[in-house]
């Protein structure tokens, strides 16, 4: 049924609701910015490590060169190991212009030879004779970079090893690393900031089509349900289609409702007019017996009217249900049997036997139980009504049968009533068409059956029962189990 | 090891005879700044007087010390230095003080204005240049050509064997820090020339001195004919005053030292020490060095019209770099060997 959406009760609630809704753009920006910042931080960390390593590599070369120059000048003088440190060695070190220099030369045979006596000359890494190693160590209140070398004396009459350590402070290294890092950090920060700004601008651009659709819908007159023709990007095409489809359905619903209301009003007007004529007639009649008779007629007419109204309500309920509720997997044996049981007593009072015949326990189709029940009720009521008309001598029976056929469950309601003429057979499914006005009924029963059947993709066929009567056959497509469903 | 022992003996001997300071400024001034310096009073007095005139609340106690003694004193007083400012011409010892962590950094507008080569680590600052020169008594060269470089000095010695015997003077590198620096730089610049010179000095009974001024005194008095490796500022002053004296700037190469200042790590009054250093480096201080004919200022743009600017464009100037290379000359083994060779050459050693 068409109902107006509930309006937010006041503006405050509305704005609170708006504020508390998660923002698509906000989320996009936050996640994007977070990612960019993370990447930038990672890059900066890498640059820091890299620049430090780069500085160490460059300045270790300096240290190595100076140490080798010192090593070349280790010699022997009067049987003693000695060293004549070349000026060039320290000229090399002076390239690290502000760094303090410390060194120590010692030998296994003589111990301390020259340099800074208290400089710790133990190697920090596993010793390999003749190969240089570099490490950091504290001395004189600063962290120094050490170059360490120990080798065997090569002079013919010398024995043992000589060890040279040369160290300088890390000032130049840090300066170099800092200058490399600073540029890189500046660049990375700039790139990150620009990216975030672009992200903010971009998010605005990306969401603009949505705002356009929103604006278009907002600006429409209340009754305008025509499809959106707005040109929008591919990503919003689906949304547009869904909105259009939704509006189409709304339009169909509305039209149906309008039709229905018109027809119903029209259908109600005739019996009410006849009721009025009957009532006037009864008022004007003088004889009490005749008046009584007239009143009986009025009552009959009222009952017929009441039936019509309840049919109409039922149909409205079912058609709303068919519109709004998704179909599921159901068994139709159970509800059909239930309908028979429910109608059995009413039918029996009218002298009609209902019999339910089936060999199967279960018949699974895609459908709605309530609609099936309603359909069966209408069919059985109709059958009973038509059976009633036959002269009372014969045994009256209505058979409800479910037969499994390939891919189809056939449901038949077979009566032995007066039957329906071939002309009527073609029109009974029209709404408000009544085959015979001497039979009480609204004329909507079979049209509802048709609606329900077509909603279940079932075929409805009317045929004659021999010798007389009508058979209604509804073929429901059986649910085919394939792997995809579930 | 002998050289080292000699240093220590010397060190103890000067310890006992620590000179009493010369005072400048108001006796009642609230703050006192002690300066230990190797600068002769005559070259420095006007600067000190000007400073206390500018800053009357500072009183300066000025102590004149020999370069090597100054170094050992500063090292031994590491925790409680008597002086808050150390001025010395022995660049190598000053730099070694910085390298070995005995000094503190100082930064000001004046020090940041200073060229990079005139300071190291913001802990040692050069405030004046000092060309290294020879000095002769003109009377001895009447009719002869004055030697203008080391080669001509050598040939003069060879030609005047008897005349120069015992009448040449130079620094005793065992007792003078700056003397050692000059000798080691000579050896580094021109090893062969230095060897021949040393041999010539040794064979002609060279006299050794502790200080430039003593050598100049003896040249002036005629006791010496030649003084070798003297500090230019003193020599220029004296040559200006005394017509008998001629300052010779060696043409082959001229060593250029810098006089430097450091502030000891635990100095009692680093603020005033810094202030005094700023004054030395200021336009006024630098100009005063020129106008009063005291020193060669460190900032070259002020060199335009110097009192005795002897350095023409043709000279080869070898400026001693104020950097880590100076440490090599002060290596224990190298120093010991150098002094030993010097002693042997000059026949001063007894045990060989």
pLDDT tens per residue across span A85-127: 999 999 999 988 899 999 999 999 889 999 999 999 999 989 8
Tokens 């170059």 found at: A147
Cα dihedral: B82, B84, B88, B92 (round 10)? 90
Please give the residue of chain A at the shortest CA–CA distance from B124: A98
Instruction: Write down the pLDDT at residue A434.
Output: 60
Q: Return the residue in B97, B181, B322, B324 with the most chain A beta carbons within 10 A, the one to mutate for interface testing.
A: B324
Please give the residue of chain A at the shortest CA–CA distance from B334: A84
Measured between alpha carbons, how far apart are the two ends of chain A, in Å?
30
Q: Which pair of structure tokens corresponds to residue A289? A: 């017996």
Residue A311 pLDDT > 90: no
CB contact under 8 A, A100 and B323: no
Of B101, B324, B332, the CB nearest to A101: B324
Instruction: Write down the pLDDT at residue A444.
Output: 58
> Quick check: B125 contacting A, CB < 8 Å?
no
Distance of alpha carbon B264 from alpha carbon B77, whole angstroms: 9
Q: Which pair of structure tokens corresponds to residue B307? A: 């009192």
Average of per-residue pLDDT values in chain B: 87
Residue A326: alpha-carbon gap to chain centroid:
18
Instruction: Write down the pLDDT at residue A443.
Output: 55
Distance in Å, alpha carbon of A90 to nearest chain B alpha carbon: 5
Which residues on chain B are in Cβ contact (under 8 Å) with A106? none
Q: Which of A88, A98, A64 is nearest to A176 (CA)?
A: A98
Residue B130 pLDDT > 50: yes
Cβ-based neighbours of A183, under 8 Å, separated by 6 or more: none
Please give the residue of chain A at the shortest CA–CA distance from B99: A100
Instruction: Write down the pLDDT at residue B12.
Output: 43
Distance in Å, alpha carbon of B230 to nearest chain A alpha carbon: 24
Mean pLDDT on A415-431: 78
Residue B13 pLDDT > 60: no
Predicted confidence band at A438 (pLDDT cuts at 50, 70, 90)?
low
Of A91, A98, A116, the CB nearest to B325: A91
Residue B24 pLDDT > 50: yes
Q: Which of A479, A302, A446, A273 is nearest to A375 (CA)?
A: A446
Distance of alpha carbon B312 from alpha carbon B333, whole angstroms: 38
CB contact under 8 A, B332 and A83: no
Q: Which of A142, A442, A429, A19 is nearest to A271 (CA)?
A: A442
Residue A244 pLDDT > 60: yes
Q: Which pair of structure tokens corresponds to residue B203? A: 């064979």
Which residues on chain A are in Cβ contact (under 8 Å) with B92? none
Looking at residue B138, the DSSP 8-state letter turns out to be: G
Q: Which of A360, A355, A329 is nearest to A344 (CA)?
A: A355
- Triad A193, A197, A200: Cα angle to 5°: 140
Phi, psi of A409 (to 5 degrees): -105, 120
Distance in Å, alpha carbon of A163 to nearest chain B alpha carbon: 16
Phi, psi of B35 (to 5 degrees): -120, 125
> Quick check: B333 contacting A, CB < 8 Å?
yes
Instruction: Write down the pLDDT at residue A9.
Output: 57
Lowest-confidence segment of A188-202, A441-455, B101-115 by average pLDDT: A441-455
Instruction: Write down the pLDDT at residue B216.
Output: 94
Distance in Å, alpha carbon of B240 to nearest chain A alpha carbon: 37
CB contact under 8 A, A87 and B325: yes
CB contact under 8 A, A140 and B332: no
Distance in Å, alpha carbon of B191 to nearest chain A alpha carbon: 13
Q: pLDDT exceeding 70 applies to what percent of chain A? A: 93
Distance in Å, alpha carbon of B352 to nearest chain A alpha carbon: 14
Distance in Å, alpha carbon of A119 to nearest chain B alpha carbon: 12
Q: Which pair of structure tokens corresponds to residue A415? A: 């009566």
Distance of alpha carbon B165 from alpha carbon B325, whole angstroms: 36
Mean pLDDT on B168-195: 93
Of A91, A114, A140, the CB nearest to B331: A114
CB contact under 8 A, B101 and A140: yes
Q: Return the residue in A73, A97, A116 with the most chain B beta carbons within 10 A, the one to mutate for interface testing.
A: A97
CB contact under 8 A, B327 and A101: yes
Residue A143 pLDDT > 50: yes
Of A82, A85, A140, the CB nearest to B328: A85
Tell me whether the omega of the peptide bond preceding residue A467 falls within 30 degrees of 0, making it cis. yes
Residue B142 pLDDT > 80: no
Instruction: Write down the pLDDT at residue A439.
Output: 57
Three-class SS of residue B236? helix
Which residues on chain A are in Cβ contact (under 8 Å) with B332? 114-115
Cβ atoms of B213 and B169 closer than 8 Å: no
Of B101, B323, B332, the CB nearest to A94: B323
Which residues on chain A are in Cβ contact (under 8 Å) with B325? 87, 90-91, 94
Of A89, A94, A98, the CB nearest to B121: A98
Cβ atoms of A143 and A72 closer than 8 Å: no
Distance of alpha carbon A177 from alpha carbon A193, whole angstroms: 24
CB contact under 8 A, B333 and A90: no
Mean pLDDT on A346-371: 87
Phi, psi of A57 (to 5 degrees): -60, -45
Instruction: Write down the pLDDT at residue B309.
Output: 53
Instruction: Write down the pLDDT at residue A433.
Output: 66
Distance in Å, alpha carbon of A91 to nearest chain B alpha carbon: 5
Q: Would you tell me the crossing angle of helices B41-54 and B270-281 to the nearest 10 degrees? A: 110
Which stretches within B104-176 are classed as H helix? 109-113, 150-159, 161-164
Residue A12: alpha-carbon gap to chain centroid:
30
Q: Which pair of structure tokens corresponds to residue B312? A: 């023409």
Instruction: Write down the pLDDT at residue A280.
Output: 87
Cβ atoms of B150 and B289 closer than 8 Å: no
Q: pLDDT exceeding 90 applies to what percent of chain A? A: 29
| A135 or A278, greater pLDDT | A135
Cβ atoms of B248 and B263 closer than 8 Å: no
Query: What residues of chain B, 21 to 60, have a C-beta less than 8 Å from chain A?
Result: none
Residue-wise pLDDT for B244-267, tens only, equals 999 998 888 999 999 999 999 999
Interface size between A and B, measured as CB pairs under 8 A: 53
Distance in Å, alpha carbon of A75 to nearest chain B alpha carbon: 12
> Quick check: A138 contacting B, CB < 8 Å?
no
Looking at residue B61, the DSSP 8-state letter turns out to be: E
Q: Which pair of structure tokens corresponds to residue B138? A: 């003109």
Which residues on chain B are in Cβ contact (under 8 Å) with A82? 333, 337
3-state secondary structure chain A: CCCCCCCCCCHHHHHHHHHHCCCHHHHHHHHHHHHHHHHHHHHHHHHHHHHHHHHHHHHHHHHHHHHHHHHHCEEEECCEEEECCCHHHHHHHCCCCCCCEEEEEEECCCEEEEECCCCCCCCCCCCCCCCCEEEEEEECCEEEEEEEEEEECCCCCCCCEEEEEEEEECHHHHHHHHHHHHHHHHHHHHHHHHHHHHHHHHHHHHHHHHHHHHHHHHCCCCCCCCCCCCCCCHHHHHHHHHHHHHHHHHHHHHHHHHHHHHHHHHHHHHHHHHHHHHHHHHHHCCCHHHHHHHHHHHHHHHHHHHHHHHHHHHHHHHHHHHHHCCCEEEECHHHHHHHHHHHHHHHHHCCCEEEEEECCCCCEEEECHHHHHHHHHHHHHHHHHHHHCCCCCCCCEEEEEEEEECCEEEEEEEECCCCCCHHHHHHCCCCCCCCCCCCCCCCCHHHHHHHHHHHCCCEEEEEECCCCCEEEEEEEECCCCCCCCC
Distance of alpha carbon B324 from alpha carbon A91, whole angstroms: 7
Distance of alpha carbon A70 from alpha carbon A77, whole angstroms: 16
Domain boundaries, chain B: 2-128+258-309, 130-255+329-345
Distance of alpha carbon A190 from alpha carbon A36, whole angstroms: 12
Instruction: Write down the pLDDT at residue B161.
Output: 84
Please give the residue of chain B at the shortest CA–CA distance from A98: B121
Measured between alpha carbons, how far apart are the two ends of chain B, in Å?
15
Of A82, A83, A90, the CB nearest to B324: A90
Strand pairing class (B317-319; B254-264)? parallel
Q: Return the residue in A70, A98, A119, A141 with the most chain B beta carbons within 10 A, the one to mutate for interface testing.
A: A98
Three-class SS of residue B127? strand
> Quick check: B191 contacting A, CB < 8 Å?
no
Of A90, A140, A141, the CB nearest to B327: A90
Residue A313 pLDDT > 60: yes
Residue-wise pLDDT for B310-336, tens only, equals 555 557 888 999 999 999 999 999 999
CB contact under 8 A, A100 and B98: yes
3-state helix, strand, coil in chain B (%, to 5): 45, 20, 35
Cα dihedral: A174, A175, A179, A182 (round 10)? 60
Mean pLDDT on A55-78: 93
The class that CATH gives domain B2-128+258-309 is alpha beta
Distance of alpha carbon A211 from alpha carbon A97, whole angstroms: 64
Residue-wise pLDDT for A175-231, tens only, equals 999 998 998 899 999 999 999 999 999 888 888 888 888 888 888 887 788 888 878
Which residues on chain A are in Cβ contact (under 8 Å) with B324? 90, 93-94, 99-101
Tokens 């910042």 found at: A37
Which residues on chain B are in Cβ contact (under 8 Å) with A90? 324-325, 327-328
Distance in Å, alpha carbon of B325 to nearest chain A alpha carbon: 5
Q: Which of B132, B155, B145, B192 is nearest to B315 (CA)?
A: B132
The greatest distance separating any two alpha carbons of chain A, rounded to the nearest whole angstrom, comes to 167
Cβ-based neighbours of A137, under 8 Å, separated by 6 or more: A120, A124, A143, A144, A146, A167
Distance in Å, alpha carbon of A89 to nearest chain B alpha carbon: 8
The reply to whether domains B2-128+258-309 and B130-255+329-345 share a CATH topology is: yes
CB contact under 8 A, A114 and B99: no
Distance of alpha carbon B120 from alpha carbon B97, whole angstroms: 12
CATH of domain B130-255+329-345: 3.40.190.10
- Triad B243, B244, B250: Cα angle to 5°: 100
Cα dihedral: A426, A431, A435, A441 (round 10)? 150
Instruction: Write down the pLDDT at residue A80.
Output: 87
Q: Which pair of structure tokens corresponds to residue B330? A: 């002060």
Which residues on chain A are in Cβ contact (under 8 Å) with B100? 100, 116, 140
Distance of alpha carbon B198 from alpha carbon B338, whole angstroms: 12
Q: Which of B103, B48, B99 is nearest to B74 (CA)?
A: B103
């Amino acid at each position: 049924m068409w109902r107006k959406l509930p309006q937010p009760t006041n503006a405050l609630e509305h704005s609170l609701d708006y504020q508390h809704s998660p923002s698509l753009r906000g989320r996009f920006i936050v996640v994007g910015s977070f990612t960019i910042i993370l990447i930038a931080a990672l890059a900066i960390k890498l640059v820091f490590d890299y620049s430090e390593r780069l500085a160490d590599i460059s300045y270790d070369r300096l240290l190595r060169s100076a140490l080798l120059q010192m090593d070349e000048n280790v010699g022997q003088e009067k049987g003693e190991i000695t060293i004549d440190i070349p000026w060039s060695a320290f000229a090399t070190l002076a390239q690290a212009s502000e760094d303090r220099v410390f060194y120590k030369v010692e030998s296994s045979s003589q111990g301390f030879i020259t340099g800074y006596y208290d400089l710790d000359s133990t190697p920090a890494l596993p010793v390999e004779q003749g190969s240089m190693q570099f490490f950091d160590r504290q001395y004189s209140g600063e962290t120094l970079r050490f170059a360490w070398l120990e080798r065997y004396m090569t002079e013919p009459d010398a024995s043992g090893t000589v060890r040279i350590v040369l160290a300088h402070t890390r000032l130049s290294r840090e300066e170099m690393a800092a200058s490399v890092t600073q540029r890189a950090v500046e660049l990375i920060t700039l790139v990150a900031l620009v990216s975030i700004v672009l992200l903010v601008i971009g998010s605005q651009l990306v969401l603009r089509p949505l705002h356009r659709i929103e604006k278009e819908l907002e600006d429409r007159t209340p009754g305008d349900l025509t499809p959106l023709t707005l040109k929008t990007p591919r990503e919003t095409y689906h949304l547009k289609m869904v909105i259009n489809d939704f509006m189409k359905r709304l339009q169909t619903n509305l039209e149906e409702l309008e039709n229905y209301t018109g027809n119903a009003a029209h259908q109600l007007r005739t019996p009410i007019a006849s009721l009025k004529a009957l009532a006037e007639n009864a008022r004007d009649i003088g004889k009490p017996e005749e008046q009584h008779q007239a009143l009986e007629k009025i009552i009959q007419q009222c009952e017929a009217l009441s039936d019509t109204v309840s049919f109409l309500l039922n149909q409205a309920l079912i058609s709303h249900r068919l519109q709004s509720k998704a179909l599921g997997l159901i068994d139709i044996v159970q509800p059909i049997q239930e309908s028979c049981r429910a109608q059995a007593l009413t039918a029996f009072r009218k002298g009609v036997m209902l019999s339910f015949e089936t060999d199967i326990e279960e018949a699974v189709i895609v459908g709605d139980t309530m609609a099936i029940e309603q359909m069966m009720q209408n069919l059985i009521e109709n059958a009973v009504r038509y059976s009633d008309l036959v002269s009372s001598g014969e045994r009256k029976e209505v058979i409800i049968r479910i037969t499994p056929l390939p891919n189809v469950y056939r449901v038949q309601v077979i009566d032995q009533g007066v039957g329906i003429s071939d002309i009527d057979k073609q029109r009974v499914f029209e709404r408000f068409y009544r085959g015979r006005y001497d039979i009480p009924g609204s004329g909507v029963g079979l049209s509802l059956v048709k609606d329900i059947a077509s909603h279940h993709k079932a075929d409805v066929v009317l045929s004659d029962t021999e010798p007389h009567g009508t058979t209604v056959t509804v073929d429901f497509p059986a649910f085919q189990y394939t792997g995809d469903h579930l | 090891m002998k050289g080292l022992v000699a240093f220590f003996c010397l060190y103890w001997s000067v310890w006992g005879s620590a000179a009493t300071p010369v005072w400048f400024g108001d006796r009642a001034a609230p703050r006192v700044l002690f300066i230990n310096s190797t600068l002769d009073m005559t070259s420095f007095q006007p600067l000190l007087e000007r400073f206390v005139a500018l800053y009357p609340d500072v009183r300066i106690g000025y102590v004149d010390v020999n370069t090597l003694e100054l170094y050992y004193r500063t090292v031994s007083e590491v925790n409680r230095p008597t002086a808050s400012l150390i001025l010395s011409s022995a660049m190598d010892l000053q730099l070694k003080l910085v390298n070995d962590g005995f000094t503190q950094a100082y930064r000001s507008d004046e020090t940041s204005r200073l060229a990079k080569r005139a300071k190291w680590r913001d802990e040692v600052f050069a405030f004046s240049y000092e060309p290294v020169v020879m000095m002769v008594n003109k009377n001895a060269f009447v009719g002869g050509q004055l030697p203008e470089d080391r080669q001509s000095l050598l040939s003069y010695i060879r030609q005047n064997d008897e005349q120069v015997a015992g009448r040449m003077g130079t620094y005793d590198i065992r007792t003078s820090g700056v003397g050692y620096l000059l000798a080691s730089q000579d050896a580094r610049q021109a090893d062969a020339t230095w060897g021949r010179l040393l041999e010539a000095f040794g064979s002609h009974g060279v006299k050794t001195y502790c200080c430039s001024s003593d050598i100049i005194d003896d040249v002036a008095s005629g006791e010496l004919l030649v003084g070798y490796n003297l500090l230019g500022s003193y020599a220029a002053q004296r040559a200006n005053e005394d017509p008998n004296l001629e300052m010779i700037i060696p043409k082959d190469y001229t060593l250029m030292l810098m006089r430097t200042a450091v502030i000891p790590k635990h100095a009692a009054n680093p603020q005033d020490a810094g202030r005094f250093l700023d004054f030395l480096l200021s336009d006024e201080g630098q100009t005063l060095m020129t106008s009063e004919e005291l020193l060669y200022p460190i900032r070259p743009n002020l060199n335009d019209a110097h009192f005795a600017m002897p350095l023409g464009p043709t000279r080869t100037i070898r400026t001693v770099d104020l950097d880590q290379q100076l440490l090599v000359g002060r290596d224990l083994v190298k120093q010991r060997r150098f002094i030993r060779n010097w002693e042997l050459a000059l026949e001063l050693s007894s045990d060989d």
